[in-house]
Structure 1
């Protein structure tokens, strides 16, 4: 009788562990295709700011990012060279704090969520909600909502006259 209980508990724990491992590994095994979005004339308008994604912790091979970002009055555009390490539930945030380098820099602020990241690589557009004062958001970050982890920040440099 005791071995049956052990067998059932072991089977349940093995199933739960396998499910958790599968959910974690899914984006690595089956990543979405590379994005190839472009800016239309109406979306582009005047360039407000630009920046480059960095790897906040060089010792962390999983959470990285690279590539450029351009901010227009109503659109954030991740450039063709954009890339982040795969993972679950990544979002694009505008953050009202400069020089984001750790997860605690984001969790202590009131960010603007521009939506879920559609691809780990390639050019993508994200609409900026009406009424957002871009001058108050010197950073754009890729954030893992599921685990509350900073993936990659970009410090924005504002254009003259913006």
Structure 2
């Protein structure tokens, strides 16, 4: 009887520790996120847009915890996003020459993509493109979680 009680207590404590760890992984990026760029900065970049697209929750690779929703504007020097992303760690922005909307497509085409920046905010973002980035060579903006190899969202702009 004593062994069964110890096993039950150990299992319950491990379960609670696991739940706490999972909540911590989800909450830490929210707690440590810097302030989002102000709306004026994002609007100025969006006003220079050459291309525009939308992130929406309906991508086949998006789900309850991995999604983006809002307007994306691309110009020669930056990508501006007005909207909201699901909170998470280590988000990267890629430009892809082919449209992708799930993890398998992303991984199959990653070699042809370029990583253009990081996203550390979940309400709006502004990513400066590396000098010489030829946005005409690509047609899709992708947000990807590098730490967990999770597709977040994408938008095809041409």
TM range (shorter): 0.7 to 0.9
* CA 1:116–1:103: 2 relative to 1, 3 Å: same
Equivalent position of 2:149 in the other structure: 148
Equivalent position of 1:70 in the other structure: 73
Q: SS of the residue aligned with 1:151?
A: strand
Q: Which runs of 5+ in 2 are unaligned?
A: none
* CA 1:58–1:90: 2 relative to 1, 3 Å: closer
1:60, CA displacement in angstroms?
2.2
Q: Deviations over 1:31-58 (max 9, x none)?
A: 63444251597x6785321100022139
Task: Work out the CA distance in 1 between the residues paired with 2:107 and 2:55.
Answer: 19
* CA 1:26–1:134: 2 relative to 1, 3 Å: same
Equivalent position of 2:102 in the other structure: 102
Equivalent position of 1:91 in the other structure: 92
Task: Work out the CA distance in 2 between the residues paired with 1:73 and 1:115.
Answer: 14
Q: Which runs of 5+ in 1 are unaligned?
A: 158-162
Are residue 54 (structure 1) and residue 56 (structure 2) matched? Answer: yes
Partner residue of 2:114 out of 112, 115, 131? 112
Task: Work out the CA distance in 2 between the residues paired with 1:44 and 1:53.
Answer: 15
1:22, CA displacement in angstroms?
4.6
Task: Work out the CA distance in 2 between the residues paired with 1:45 and 1:121.
Answer: 18
Contact 1:45 1:73 in 2 (8 A): no
* CA 1:49–1:28: 2 relative to 1, 3 Å: same
Q: Deviations over 1:74-96 (max 9, x none)?
A: 111112xx111111211111112
Task: Work out the CA distance in 2 between the residues paired with 1:29 and 1:138.
Answer: 30
Task: Work out the CA distance in 1 between the residues paired with 2:108 and 2:76.
Answer: 26
Equivalent position of 2:140 in the other structure: 139
